[in-house]
Amino acid sequence: MTTRLQRPACLSALIFFAVALPARAQQPSAPAPPAAGQAALSPEQARAKAVEDLVVANKVLVDLGVLDAYGHVSTRVPGDPKHFLMSRSLAPELVTPADILEHDLEGNATAPPGATLFNERFIHAAVYAARPDVQAVVHNHAPSLIPFGVSGVPLRPLYHMSAFLGAGVPVFDIRAAGGETDMLVRTLPLGQALAKTLGANNVALMRGHGAVVVAPDMPRAVFRSVYTEQNARLQAQAMQLSQKVTYLDAEEAKKAQTTMEGTVARPWELWRKKVQGK
């Protein structure tokens, strides 16, 4: 009796799997719903999203120790490659959408009464002019980067997270470009000299000052800023342990960059939620 009762149950299960499994197997080939941010946006919506991402990026980079009261982040205006968005001169953690100003590629912008522009907006202007592929720029003074800009020790990718450094990290010496200065990139020619040093790379260090980090979108600009800083700390530690530090070779760096930057949506979502919950 028990056996008779079990048989129909087993049959039912078989029928269920026969129906359900093919349906499940078809799921991966079904069209995926548009991911967040990929849906077609109107120009106004795209600009609003760029502003929101820019505000988030400022706060994330403070939260993770890349920026403090100094440094700045920008993004190109969606659909308008000749302009970029950046806040008025302000500590990054305090930036709100109302503080974001549109700048042209010569660094011009109209500041509201009582506000000023960042002295070093020319970093961003010159990089956007020189690099059509760049959509987001971060300038920071992360302390762990400074030794690599003054010691002649090259910053090199130590682990998979910083594989985007594999193409090289040039060092900009403002003295070579502008003689004796206050170390700030406060003119367009100085910005152009920095952009020339950056070349096609993702990061350039600035002697006695900081770094510029570029990327084809804001999540990757933040990702690269965070992991450049972490790589610098780890590299300094490794060099204290041994004079024979093994770095990623060119092929490893290329493969690891593709893999790790393919996952950038994960940390971006986490970092965004952390700062928006504050």
Choosing from 106, 120, 180, 269, the catalytic residue is 120
What's the helix, strand, coil split of the chain in %, to 5? 50, 15, 35
CA distances to 36, 186, 190, 194 from 225, in Å: 23, 22, 22, 17
- H or E segment to which residue 73 belongs: strand 72-77
- Return the SS3 of 253: helix
Concatenating the DSSP letter of every residue in 89-139 gives S--GGG--GGGEEEEETTS---PPTT----TTHHHHHHHHHH-TT--EEEE
Q: What is the DSSP letter of 141?
A: -
C-alpha to C-alpha distance for 38 and 54, rounded to whole angstroms:
17
Residue in the block written with tokens 């003054």: 150
The answer to whether 252 is a known catalytic residue is no
Residue in the block written with tokens 């109107």: 42
- H or E segment to which residue 260 belongs: helix 250-261
- Return the SS3 of 211: strand
Q: Do residues 230 and 181 lie in contact, with contact meaning Cβ atoms separated by under 8 Å?
A: no
Q: What is the DSSP letter of 207?
A: T
Residues classed as catalytic: 120
